[in-house]
A and B are shown apart, each in its own frame.
Chain A
Amino acid sequence: QVQLQESGPGLVQPSETLSLTCTVSGGPVSSYFWSWIRQPPGKGLEWIGNIWYSGTTNYSPSLKSRLFISVQTSKNQVSLKLSSVTAADTAVYFCARAPSLGYFYESGGYLQRLDAYDVWGQGTMVTVSS
């Protein structure tokens, strides 16, 4: 049974970089998409971005300039770095897995599609405060 465990500092200073790791156990990172999703206190879920195990990324436009997601296949880990954080980045951060559905020919080109997020971590709370 695949399990995901997020880890990282619970408190980050404003303007600094938030760094989180998602450790995957019970299965490989290969052949899956891996995503980060967050939930600010009292609010809903916000998609941050994802990465294909080979390294191809897609980021939320609102976070793209501050965001870096990477995968370390040898360690079975996925990492998130979010720079120049503010109080608005305070949230529970989840990692999640999505299976690949392969390539679809659409709109004149090939698009790699992923399916819904079938495995999630429990989440880790990150507070941005001085």
Chain B
Amino acid sequence: DIQMTQSPSILSASVGDRVTITCRASQNISNWLAWYQHKPGKAPKLLIYKASSLQSGVPSRFSGSGSGTDFTLTISSLQPDDFATYYCQQYDSYSPFMFGQGTKVEIK
């Protein structure tokens, strides 16, 4: 299985902060990586696909980068609506399509 390791598990930040979440794959997945935002009781929301492509309708303060094994999700200026849990997911190999363990972004 391809393992996905996210860090940190919890991130405390303030409105306006620049936030960075990292995701590492246990083997090369090229750019087959997505980032999702999930709030309790809601459907997860696709933010970034193919590592760096912004999903339609997602604010431009979200950006993704990386390829191979190391990836980053950046929120340039954290907004109140951004407090949520974020997951990376690889979709390169049916090994299965593993998710990272999640990063909870909470109010500092």
- Which residue of B is nearest A98, CB measured? B91
Whether A58 sits at the interface, judged by CB under 8 Å, is yes
Known: A116-B55, A117-B44. 20 other contacts (CB 8 A): A44-B99, A44-B101, A45-B36, A45-B38, A45-B44, A45-B99, A47-B99, A49-B96, A58-B96, A59-B96, A61-B96, A116-B46, A116-B89, A116-B91, A117-B46, A118-B46, A120-B45, A120-B46, A121-B43, A122-B41
A118 touching B55, Cβ below 8 Å: yes
Given contacts A114-B91, A115-B50, contact A47 B97 (CB under 8 A): yes
Chain B 23-61, CB-CB to A under 8 Å as 1, else 0, gives 000000000101010100111111001100001000000
Distance in angstroms from B5 CB to nearest chain A CB is 12
Q: How far is the CA of A20 from the CA of B44 in the complex (A)?
A: 19
Given contacts A44-B101, A114-B91, contact A120 B43 (CB under 8 A): yes
Distance in angstroms from B29 CB to nearest chain A CB is 12
Q: How far is the CA of A4 from the CA of B99 in the complex (A)?
A: 21
Interface size for chain A: under 10, 10 to 19, 20 to 34, or 35 or more residues?
20 to 34
Q: How many residues of B contact A (CB 8 A)?
A: 25
- Which residue of A is nearest B97, CB measured? A47
Supply 9 A–B pairs (Cβ within 8 Å), ascending by A: A45-B38, A46-B99, A47-B96, A47-B98, A58-B94, A61-B1, A116-B34, A120-B45, A122-B42
Distance in angstroms from B67 CB to nearest chain A CB is 15
Chain A 103-130, CB-CB to B under 8 Å as 1, else 0, gives 0000000000111111011110000000
A120 touching B44, Cβ below 8 Å: yes
B102 touching A116, Cβ below 8 Å: no
Report B-chain residues with C-beta under 8 Å of the C-beta of A96.
44
A94 touching B50, Cβ below 8 Å: no
Given contacts A116-B49, A118-B55, contact A44 B43 (CB under 8 A): no
Considering only residues 41-95 of chain B, those with a C-beta below 8 Å from chain A are 41-46, 49-50, 55, 87, 89, 91, 94
